[in-house]
């Protein structure tokens, strides 16, 4: 397993992924996991979990981990990326429940210049809880981009 901290340019509470389970840079795919518990950032005791809309951020950090691995393999430090759009976010639950471990799957499907499109899903065991298509951009210098 890869150490998430080395792959994603987030730290502290904003590092949301618990672990990277599988990664295939050649196939441009990754599976990460998030352990849902009261110490999780975005945890809401009123729903005993994390709102499902946070899933797009789990997807984005999984994409960042895949990109970070690619950068490291090329001898570079992982770079910052930005979400351009989240399309067709389809959720089949209202939250990710306390005490569960969800799996996030991302797969690159298209790249045009700096814009990259990913199919993403979040599952609990064999049940798909959310799906989306994310368009992201990876930049050399985040400060210049902003």
4-145 to CATH, choices 3.40.630.30, 3.10.129.10, 1.20.930.40, 3.90.870.20? 3.10.129.10
Is residue 61 within 8 Å of 5, Cβ to Cβ?
Answer: no
- In this structure, are residues 96 and 129 in contact, taking their beta carbons and an 8 Å threshold? yes
Whose CA is closest to 60, among 79, 77, 83? 83
Q: What is the pLDDT of residues 74-84, one digit of tens each?
A: 899 888 889 99
Q: What is the pLDDT of residues 12-45, one digit of tens each?
A: 678 899 999 999 999 999 999 999 999 999 999 9
What does the pLDDT average to over 132-141? 86
DSSP notation for 54-89 = GHHHHHHHHHHHHHHHHHHHTT-PPPPEEEEEEEEE
CA distance 30 to 134: 14
- Range with the lowest mean pLDDT among 24-28, 65-69, 75-79, 137-141? 137-141
Does the pLDDT value for residue 3 go beyond 90?
A: no
The pTM of this model reads 0.92
Residues listed for the chain: 146
Mean pLDDT for 129-139 is 93
Q: Are 7 and 22 in contact (CB under 8 A)?
A: no
Task: Return the pLDDT at 14.
Answer: 83
């Amino acid at each position: 397993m890869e150490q998430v901290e080395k792959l994603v340019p987030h730290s502290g509470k904003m590092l949301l992924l618990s672990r990277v389970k599988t990664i295939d840079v050649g196939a441009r795919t990754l599976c990460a996991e998030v352990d849902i518990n009261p110490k999780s950032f975005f945890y809401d005791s009123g729903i005993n979990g994390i709102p499902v809309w946070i899933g797009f951020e789990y997807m984005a950090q999984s994409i960042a981990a895949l990109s970070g691995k690619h950068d490291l393999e090329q001898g570079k430090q992982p770079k910052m990326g930005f979400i351009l759009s989240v399309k067709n976010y389809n959720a089949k639950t209202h939250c990710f429940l306390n005490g569960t471990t969800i799996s996030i799957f991302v797969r690159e499907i298209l790249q045009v210049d700096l814009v990259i499109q990913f199919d993403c899903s979040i599952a609990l065991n064999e049940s798909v809880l959310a799906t989306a298509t994310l368009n992201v951009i990876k930049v050399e210098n985040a400060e210049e981009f902003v």
